[in-house]
Amino acid sequence: MSKSKKLFAKYPLIYLLVAPVIVALIVFLYTFCIHSTVRAPVVFDVVRGDSVTGVANRLLKYKLIDSKDAFITSVRLHGGKIQSGQYDIARGTSVWRIADMLANGEVASTTVVIPEGLTVKQIKKLLLQHSGLTGAVECSDNKARPVCNLKDGQIFPDTYRVARGTARLAVLDLMRKKMVDVNNHIKSANRYLPKPLKNWNDVLILASIVQKETPIAREMPIVASVYLNRLNKGMRLQADPTVVYAITDGFGDMRGEALLRGHLKVDSPYNTYRNSGLPPTPIANVGQSAIRAVLRPAETRFLYFVADGQGGHLFSVDYEQHQKNHENWRKIKQSKNK
């Protein structure tokens, strides 16, 4: 006689009691945790205010479950509540896993990438093109919320991961709050400003010009030094990005058009070819590299720079050398256009 048969003969009552429990456990695991009616990936929306029963009915209607009771029981075992949002339900997802996702708010997410150097208008255009977000980028009410009156320099460019279906205004406010945090952190660590900058707004304004002039982080402190040297000598900044900002009404991009010599005469407080000092406000939204470049500029005597044709710039102390560098850049442009 086998060992199991001997045990059954010795303890028949235990086997009779345990066997149904094991069978019930197997049925439970299969019904709740293994079995699935999801034949293909699907996006499922839970709207704020939806009841568990109402969601169960819709899941059953779309054949994502085959038992309302199994879903409702699973939700109860997860705390009894579900969270609104958009959910990605994969092929083969069990009723237990669906309940787990909805109870814990494992909503589908989307990534929003905001490059450094964009203006508020450009960022809003980018968000409107993002299919994973919802709603408008402008406030429809008359409430004086900060997000309703965003200015350049108030948004922190970064990569944001948010729930799919998040309102665009909510994303803008998230970016605004991140900039407040970044500003507070950097300001607390940098109490002394380079001359002749007087306040934090001056730092952001110059950082926005540096940000628009070069995307290369290691070059930013040198570009910052050029503009600080010019300010300290009473020279005009003569920064092309400020002119672009002026003639595009704050959009900040020529949309493929060339910046011409005639544009440098535009009558605007943002035209640093005509006006001394800094423009009135930042002309873009900046990253930490540009801010730090202004706070810790390179020690140089450079007063001029021009593109080198390889993504960077050539710097010079005197105008004569600048003219030579500019002529080289002109030749490079001509050769590229052939």
Instruction: Report the pLDDT value the prediction gives residue 68, as an integer from 0 to 100.
Output: 94
Domain 23-104 class, CATH top level? alpha beta
Find all residues with CB under 8 Å of 197, minimum gap 6, and list them: 203, 206, 228, 294
Find all residues with CB under 8 Å of 272, minimum gap 6, and list them: 236, 237, 238, 239, 242, 243, 278, 279
Instruction: Report the pLDDT value the prediction gives residue 32, as an integer from 0 to 100.
Output: 65
Instruction: Report the pLDDT value the prediction gives residue 144, as an integer from 0 to 100.
Output: 78
Q: Which stretches of 155-309 are DSSP H helices?
A: 168-189, 200-213, 220-232, 240-247, 288-295
Q: What is the enclosing helix (H) or strand (E) of 101?
A: helix 95-104
Instruction: Report the pLDDT value the prediction gives residue 200, as an integer from 0 to 100.
Output: 93
Residues of the chain with pLDDT under 50: none
> What would the pLDDT profile of 266-277 be if each residue is shown by its tens digit?
999 999 999 999
Q: How many CB atoms lie within 10 A of CB 125?
A: 14
Instruction: Report the pLDDT value the prediction gives residue 143, as an integer from 0 to 100.
Output: 73
Kindly report whether the global pTM for this prediction surpasses the value 0.85.
no
- Contacts of 310-318 spanning 24+ positions with Cβ under 8 A: 311/215, 311/216, 312/214, 312/216, 312/219, 313/213, 313/214, 313/219, 313/222, 313/223, 315/222, 315/226
Tell which residue, 234, 235, 214, has the closest CA to residue 224.
Answer: 214
Instruction: Report the pLDDT value the prediction gives residue 267, as an integer from 0 to 100.
Output: 97
Instruction: Report the pLDDT value the prediction gives residue 87, as an integer from 0 to 100.
Output: 95
* Residue 24 CB-half CA count within 13 A: 5
Q: Domain segments of the chain: what residues?
A: 23-104, 109-186, 191-337
Instruction: Report the pLDDT value the prediction gives residue 332, as an integer from 0 to 100.
Output: 82
